[in-house]
Amino acid sequence: MSSDTLNNEPAIKTHINSDAGCGQDNTTNNTKISVRDLNFFYGTRQVLFDISLNIYDKKVTAFIGPSGCGKSTFLRTLNRMNDIIEGTRHNGEILIDSKDIYGEKVNLVQLRKKVGMVFQRSNPFPKSIFENVAYGPRIHGIKNKGELENIVEKSLKNAGLWAEVKDRLTSNALALSGGQQQRLCIARALAIDPEILLMDEPASALDPKSTTRVEDLISELKENYTIVIVTHSMQQAARVSDYTAFFYEGDLVEFDVTKKIFTMPAKKQTEDYITGRFG
């Protein structure tokens, strides 16, 4: 791949750009996740090349790019979900709160408690609504019924689902509509009180109305969570994110403030993708 040199720069430039009157909020950006020179392999096939970027605390960062560009793989390195696939390996480092998550002493359970994930297709367990949300707290050792009830209620409220399901918490989650199921999955992820929320195309299987709800929800959630979202829809990236990273064939082509990416992209490739010339 030719773009080794492309990757490192934009990530570092971001700070400067974001202050350059792009209309972003003026609060200082604290780096929550810092990725340095990440290469990732499925067996012998390399799918990510020298990725370096910073993801900022309590901001929404969107990963865009054509199918197979590595954006989902990259997302899944952030909570080490790729670990469950045999034959994957990587080099480079990923720091969350300045700690290397691939370090030797890392507790995967703690990592995934801190970094929640919502999947592309909603995947509630075939259990009741209550049990779905209570699953995470339960496996982390909370047994007290009252405490669980509080967590479930709070999580469902945060996911904007409480009003719709509060009278039928015991009914099966699979009976909910697609949009409700996805918000239930978000509630389930919130129930373990994560700091970071990874979302892998969370609205791609939803109708427009449900998509709007999920997008609104993302905007609300960024008050308290650092959100990383992979999306196919550039409109979605433009609507919900503060920062956007454009991936192409395993390279991070450009990373910058969303507004800048969509108005004045630095790279021709980014511009071509955004204007729909390929992808």
- Site residues (vs another protein, CB under 8 A): 79, 81, 84, 86, 108-113, 116-117, 119, 121, 123-127, 135-136, 138-140, 185, 188-189, 192
Cβ proximity to another protein, 54 vs 132, nearer residue: 132
How far apart (Å, rounded) are the C-alpha atoms in residues 207 and 224?
A: 26
For the CB of residue 185, give the shortest distance to another protein in the complex, in Å: 7
Cβ proximity to another protein, 86 vs 104, nearer residue: 86
Is there a contact between 153 and 130 (Cβ–Cβ < 8 Å)?
no
Cβ proximity to another protein, 18 vs 122, nearer residue: 122
Is there a contact between 248 and 7 (Cβ–Cβ < 8 Å)?
no
Cβ proximity to another protein, 115 vs 257, nearer residue: 115
Q: How many CB atoms lie within 10 A of CB 96?
A: 22
For the CB of residue 183, give the shortest distance to another protein in the complex, in Å: 14
Cβ proximity to another protein, 136 vs 250, nearer residue: 136
For the CB of residue 80, give the shortest distance to another protein in the complex, in Å: 10
For the CB of residue 44, give the shortest distance to another protein in the complex, in Å: 17
For the CB of residue 124, give the shortest distance to another protein in the complex, in Å: 8
Cβ proximity to another protein, 3 vs 204, nearer residue: 204
What would the two tokens of residue 227 be? Answer: 């959100």
For the CB of residue 116, give the shortest distance to another protein in the complex, in Å: 7
